[in-house]
Structure 1
Amino acid sequence: MPTSLDQQATLGDYAVLSKQIRNAGLLERRRGYYAVRIGLNLLAMAGAWVAFAYIGDSWWQLFVAAFLALVFAQLAFIGHDAGHKQIFRGGRQNNLVGRLHGGLIGMSYGWWNKGHNRHHANPNHEHDDPDVNIDALAFTENQARLKTGFLRWMAKHQAYLFFPLLLLEGLNLHISSVRAIWNGEVKSRKIDGALLVLHFALYLGAVFLVLSPGIAVVFLVVHQGLWGVYMGCSFAPNHKGMPSPSEEDSKDFLRKQVLTSRNVRGGFWVDLALGGLNYQIEHHLFPHMPRPNLRKAQPIVQQFCLERGIPYAQCGLLRSYRYVLEHLHEVGAPLRAPATAPAAA
């Protein structure tokens, strides 16, 4: 409950903005868009595997592996939208689409959705946001100081290690999904588990039946590595390097979401490549908003923030990665500082 007139006023800002967005019709479902998008993704997926079967045991399969990395990311974007109930109004239909897409890429939809909801509730919070609570990286100086052993060495040089580490993100998504299901951390444990088993059986079975062992292993490395890099590059610009709220921070919902998020400028190709996540501010303010409407909401939200003096972060794609690397380098700086010798008695 608000405890002051100032808080009441700022809480009212979001209601005013929501009314503008709703009156513009930007919260209406876009089923036709998603029908086309899902159809094209599934067609691309089927085409990739047809090409895989046709090419056979050949190093040319590495091009198929690279293409499948792109397809897997696009399928993941649909699962993301389903998790936010952007496709249908009802949760059951969205969950069905989300679980099926999770099964296609070998990831537990239930595990991912649980963690992603925590992220949206507390973006960039070093304790409550799972996206900034990662063993291999430090996103605040406090996290860096707590690292020990090899993880401390990684934190020192994390700006240089960031993109190489993304090569392991696909594997991490698989392992985390299996671990969550095994530990019973997922509501629909049997469904997600069955989909994962089916995925790995068909995926690994096809790879090792068609390809010789050497080519099969390289195919897996290329596919999973590029998929991991793609996923990491899609999510990293959104919050990394933006302010990290403290335990005492009492910002209202609108300011908490805007001040911790960053948009990425670009046209059609950036929208396609990042799955609409380049409109991160609008997405965090209205997570149920269908992806194609985010572009239309962006100028409304930006103007609203300008009128109220709320900083609105936006930059180009390459600049966003530079911000991420600069932040990681800065966080690791105290660990790289030479130790000072004790003063002589």
Structure 2
Amino acid sequence: MPLPTSVTARKSKSLSRRQVEGLIADGHAIVVVHGKVLKVDAWLKYHPGGDKAIMHMVGRDATDEVNALHSPEARKCMEAYQIGQVEGLWENFLPPIQGGHFRAYIEDDEKLQHSDENFDLSSSQNSSRSSTPSSDGSIPLIRRRGPGNATESPSSSSISSLSSSSAVERKAETIPSYIDAWTKQEIDLDLSAYPPLDPVTQDEIVQKYRLLHDRIKAEGLYECHYASYLTEICRYALLFGLCLLFLRWGWYGTSDTVIGIIIADFWGGLSLGWWKRNHNVHHIVTNSPEHDPDIEHLPFFAISHRLLLSLRSTYYDRIMSYDSFAKFFVHYQSSLYYVILAFGRFNLYRLSWEYLILGLGPRKGPAWWHRWFEILGNIVFWYWFGYGMVYKGIPTPWGRFVFVMVSHMVTMPLHVQITLSHFAMSTADLGVRESFPQRMLRTTMDVDCPEWLDFLHGGLQFQAIHHLYPRIPRHNLRRTQKLVVEFCKDVGLPYALYGFVEGNKEVIGRLADVGRQAAILAQCQKAVSEKADLGHHT
């Protein structure tokens, strides 16, 4: 059925950059996809993937993010929200959720029109105040280390240069200046290792990335061959059967491992809605200390020195306090890494129930019932696992405690595998001009292993490939990797590829680096405080 003339005219209307900015200033959620301007205000509360993922795309060309995360059918539905189109290459705004500022649109105001470029540059630069590990990257392997290797603050000389009379006034701004120095150093290291951020270079990367998508599609790598999962199903069914057998025999230590694998990975009593909301944001703002929930683990971990500033998380809508508790754990985080991850399963329970109880997912639209179905599913899980298996199946309190602890702690290798892909990679924000594929490859690593070990990693060793093309089934990721390596060589993008052991060393090294940075910062704070006290008494 043809669209009414008025609707067609509305969709074909050409919108200027200033008009789009004005719409955002008025509180509208505007994204650009394939040159089409979409006003998605009404869809925010219905989006099955959560509202935060959309909010990080406001004012941006979201074409690659949308294509990566949505099916063709879902993308077709988006056309209902089109209010116009833009001409030429779109230059991104910094989204409001990330601190971008927008001006109301005043028609025929030439002065404002001519000031667009300066304003946009300042908006882009606001997003660059973030941290990043250093890099001397090459293809196919990139190694990175941050300024935490230093034994003193990059601005330590400024402490002694403070005059007594100005120490009190400058105390509040001196510590952030050290953080800024580290941040600049890390950004400079990333800029030297990756292609330039000019529009021509980044657009070339994007166009070749999209051509690779067409090639992947032509080779059938998006197609899911469900028979490939038969081996997985048989293996886990066997393990679960052994789990029940060992429980019957009273071999609680043996059955724990099986329960850890089966329950944690598949029927784990976790919220799928929480995972989608969390994971979608992670895929869009990967490794951003302020925005990516997958690296926001204070007080236990800090993989960026910027987290030492008690940043505000836009995902959790709260301050991530770098308090005395956090200072202790960050100081020892490289030593406690595996120990803390052994308890990661319990944190997933907390996050899941927080999501369900607070109703953070869609309450209307096609996914309104997911929350209630998930609550039912979690109740069923705790009935059969908590009551039926643990309470009724194990006769002693101590046996129950050992069973629960060990069965959950053996999931630690899974948490290691997940954190391995990002903890050692860049956490810098290079601004709104960086393309989607470059940002994904700069913040994500792959784990190198022989093909016969793929069953052990479960596809999680191809996280960089997964971030570029999330809809590719896991059994096709290895074939896709070869194509991505060719793409990286063609456009000059470093591709981070480590062995499992080497990757773990990189993560531990990163945690140790930030721990050293925390120690340096503590020394700086002490020195500045003493200088300020001296100035006050003088």
- Normalising by the smaller structure, the TM-score range is 0.7 to 0.9
Tell me the equivalent position of 2:219.
24
**Equivalent position to 1:124, from 287, 290, 293:** 287
Measure the CA separation in 2 of the matches of 1:334 and 1:174.
32
- Displacement of 1:300 in angstroms is 1.4
Give the partner amino acid of 2:475: P
Q: Per the alignment, in what secondary structure is the counterpart of residue 224 of structure 2?
A: coil
- Displacement of 1:242 in angstroms is 0.8
- Displacement of 1:249 in angstroms is 4.6
% same residue: 24
**Equivalent position to 1:44, from 239, 244, 253:** 239
Tell me the equivalent position of 1:168.
343
Q: Per the alignment, in what secondary structure is the counterpart of residue 315 of structure 1?
A: strand
Measure the CA separation in 1 of the matches of 2:202 and 2:243.
53
- Displacement of 1:39 in angstroms is 4.1
- Displacement of 1:272 in angstroms is 1.8
Is 1:184–2:326 an aligned residue pair? Answer: no
Query: Contact between 1:110 and 1:186, CA under 8 Å: does it hold in 2?
Result: yes
Residues 248 and 308 of structure 1, relative CA distance in 2, 3 Å threshold: closer
Query: Contact between 2:242 and 2:255, CA under 8 Å: does it hold in 1?
Result: no
Cα deviations by residue, 1:305-329 (Å, 9 ceiling, x for unpaired) = 0122110110110111111111111
Tell me the equivalent position of 1:340.
527
**Equivalent position to 2:459, from 276, 290, 293:** 276
Unaligned stretches of 5+ residues in structure 2: 1-60, 62-88, 92-198, 311-321, 363-369
Measure the CA separation in 2 of the matches of 1:131 and 1:273.
22
- Displacement of 1:105 in angstroms is 1.1
TM-score (norm 1): 0.85
Residues 16 and 249 of structure 1, relative CA distance in 2, 3 Å threshold: same
Measure the CA separation in 1 of the matches of 2:393 and 2:241.
16
Q: How does 1:31-110 map to 2 (within 5 A)?
A: 31-52=226-247, 54-56=248-250, 60-73=251-264, 76=265, 101=266, 104-110=267-273
Tell me the equivalent position of 1:86.
none
Is 1:14–2:14 an aligned residue pair? Answer: no
Residues 304 and 10 of structure 1, relative CA distance in 2, 3 Å threshold: closer
Is 1:201–2:383 an aligned residue pair? Answer: yes
TM-score (norm 2): 0.55
Residues 38 and 250 of structure 1, relative CA distance in 2, 3 Å threshold: farther
- Whichever of the two has the greater Rg, that structure is 2
- Displacement of 1:268 in angstroms is 3.7
Query: Contact between 1:155 and 1:332, CA under 8 Å: does it hold in 2?
Result: yes
Tell me the equivalent position of 1:138.
302
- Displacement of 1:50 in angstroms is 3.5
- Displacement of 1:241 in angstroms is 1.4
**Equivalent position to 1:158, from 327, 330, 333:** 333
**Equivalent position to 1:261, from 430, 435, 444:** 444
- Displacement of 1:164 in angstroms is 0.8
**Equivalent position to 1:235, from 411, 418, 436:** 418
Give the partner amino acid of 1:209: K
Give the total of aligned pairs.
Answer: 312
Structure 1, 20-29 or 108-117: larger mean CA deviation: 20-29
Measure the CA separation in 2 of the matches of 1:46 and 1:186.
35
Is 1:111–2:274 an aligned residue pair? Answer: yes
Is 1:319–2:502 an aligned residue pair? Answer: yes
